[in-house]
Amino acid sequence: MNAPTDLSMKNDDILRVELAVFRREHRDLDDAIQALVEKGTADALTLQRLKKRKLRLKDLIAQIEDRLTPDITA
């Protein structure tokens, strides 16, 4: 997740690719967190860091989706 967060400088095609990558990473983190919890092998700090990363990705995904969704006024 080293991509610049300034979405205004990126075109829609790049944003769509990044969106797919971030969604996949979000799912992978979810799977990793679930596996660590089920096995009971993760310490609280590791789980906290993974969950924070997952939340940052969720926010970034929402920002990109907002940018890609056209404003429709009635």
Q: What is the pLDDT of residues 3-47, one digit of tens each?
A: 556 777 789 899 999 999 999 999 999 999 999 999 988 889 999
Which comes out higher in pLDDT, residue 74 or 11? 11
Q: Alpha-carbon distance 26 to 21, whole Å?
A: 9
Is this structure's pTM higher than 0.85?
A: no
Instruction: Give pLDDT, residue 3.
Output: 52
Instruction: Give pLDDT, residue 37.
Output: 92
Q: Which two tokens stand for residue 25?
A: 């990473």
Confidence of residue 74 (pLDDT cuts 50, 70, 90): low
Q: What is the DSSP letter of 41?
A: -
Confidence of residue 72 (pLDDT cuts 50, 70, 90): confident
